[in-house]
Structure 1
Amino acid sequence: MTNSAEEDRVPVHADGTAGTGRAEQAADRIAELARAAEPGARLGTKGELRALCGVSVSTFNEALRLLQARGLVAVRPGPGGGLFAAEQSPMVRLGNSMLALDAEQTSVAEAIRIRDALDPLLIEDALWHASRADIGEMREILDDMGAAAAGEDATAFVHANWRLHARIAAVSPHVLLRSLYASLLDLIEAHTRSVQPDGERPLTPYLKERHELHAALVDAIAAHDREAAMRIIHDHRTTGSL
């Protein structure tokens, strides 16, 4: 008979790398429930979900930390409380659906959420500091995005998308801000093995729509049109996952 510590111990593969672990497995099981539920739907109490996963209290708490870091669940105390399916931003859905990540999934989900929050600051800087040469390079990357969209190459599209955001960030005169943003993009890209269509919509129209949105954003930056740029970056965050 094994104790709970042994049951919940992270397995180690023959090559010395850590396995998924009981906490990760429990988090994955609850994540499936959250993704299948409507945003805000109650998934159950902590006790009910821990029993469903068959793990110890400490392991369940670690699984809960992973789920919260990925933006998948919300915890509400008191009568009628428990775990609820969270409202996810499009960028968080990107990290949890389209990106096939390695073992650093939690760190990547956190990086995506922070990157999402920094975008408006960098757009503000680009509005007033982007040169004609900067805009020209952004348009070249947009051409790559358009070609990837036409070829239904989601992986090439996402990588071009990241290059565009990195190029916009490079315009900022604030060293700390652009350095932080670049580090977040590097982390996301380094731990992404591949990009998978999420199956929620036809791929070609979706990629074309996202390409057009980014083209409009670059146009707004070139025209120093703050109102349009802020509206577009809001749409970027609320109407899609790229």
Structure 2
Amino acid sequence: MVGNDPALRRADWDKPALRRAQQAADSIAELVAATEPGARLGTREELRARCGVSVGTFNETLRILQARGLVTVRPGPGGGLFAAEQSPMVRLGNSVLALDAQQTDVADAVRIRDALDPLLIEDALWHASPADLAGLRDRLGVMAEAAKGGDAAAFVHANWKLHAAIAEISPNPLLRSLYLSLLDLIESHTLSVLPGDGKPLPDYINERLALHAGLIDALERRDRDEAIRLIHAHNVTA
């Protein structure tokens, strides 16, 4: 456990407290980069004071840092936060997470994600189990409910979760990790521009729903030509 105060929920990513937690995590990440692996960074309280955030916000900061594989926590006298040993995979993920929230960065992330989509579809064609396909249909059902209810933000979230579920099918840890890191980057920096609940959905959204339904049908039939055609159409019209 990182503390008694709860960390922020994923649904709260667009709130100022999380932005402060992310900024604090970035600040400590710079400290980690300037030290040797295993070096002591300071106590929790020292680092919290250095970042100028509340206890609850620092709990979330610590969760972010641990998820990135940047720090380890040791209890007792002489304990505190220490710079973690980082594998090449962790360094790759941290490079993605360190991207700025500028529009050009998000656009680049979308471009790279789109380039990886056909690889993930190839893996899904070969490796998707009946349970995996049932899970994809569940995700599609959430998209359909959001479209029916006119909830554009929920539709986009459900769309991202569907693509994350497709990525999870891949047996390739490098491809899976890179894709999911890019998806997290895109999601966390797009929340502030999503339309609010109750806004009318254009025909385009319903077309996207039909495209994803066709894609899952093609995966279930193991129809490679149709699945690849649809994922290219998905990325061209996104």
TM interval, short-chain normalised: 0.5 to 0.7
Pick aligned residue for 1:230 from 204, 228, 231: 228
Structure 2 letter corresponding to 1:183: S
The Cα of 1:226 is off from its aligned counterpart by 0.2
1:195 CA displacement: 4.3
1:175 aligns to what? 173
What are the within-5 Å matches in structure 2 for residues 135-174 of structure 1? Answer: 135-174=133-172
In structure 2, the partner of 1:104 is 102
Structure 2 counterpart SS, 1:194: helix
C-alpha distance in 2 between matches for 1:209 and 1:137: 21
Distance 1:158 1:195 in 2: 11
Shift of 1:107: 1.8
* 1:130, distance to aligned residue in structure 2 (A): 0.2
Equivalent residue for 1:214? 212
CA shift digits 1:55-83 (9 cap, x unpaired)? xxxxxxxxxxxxxxxxxxxxxxxxxxxxx
More helix by share: 2
Q: CA deviation at 1:194?
A: 3.3
**Mapping for residues 129-140 of structure 1, pairs under 5 Å:** 129-140=127-138
| TM-superposed deviation, 1:209 | 1.0
Distance 1:168 1:103 in 2: 25
Shift of 1:185: 0.4
Query: Structure 1 pair 204/106, CA: closer, same or farther in 2 (3 Å)?
Result: closer
Q: Which runs of 5+ in 1 are unaligned?
A: 1-14, 18-101
State yes or no: 1:192 paired with 2:212.
no
Can you give the 5+ residue segments of structure 2 that lack an aligned partner in the other structure?
Answer: 1-19, 24-99
Give, in whole Å, the separation in 2 of the partners of 1:182 and 1:196: 20
Cα distance, 1:196 vs. partner?
Answer: 4.2
* Deviation for aligned residue 1:191: 1.4
Of 185, 203, 217, the match for 2:201: 203
| Cα drift, residue 151 of structure 1 | 1.7
Per-residue deviation, residues 37-70 of structure 1 (Å, max 9, x unmatched): xxxxxxxxxxxxxxxxxxxxxxxxxxxxxxxxxx
TM-score by length of 2: 0.54
Asked if structure 2 preserves the Cα contact closer than 8 Å seen for 1:155 and 1:194, the reply is no
What secondary structure, in the 3-state scheme, does the structure 1 residue paired with 2:192 have?
A: strand
2:115 corresponds in structure 1 to: 117
Q: Distance in 1 between matches of 2:102 and 2:173?
A: 27
On the 8 A contact 1:150/1:208 being kept in 2, the answer is no
RMSD: 2.0
Aligned partner of 1:129: which letter?
A: H
Shift of 1:178: 0.5
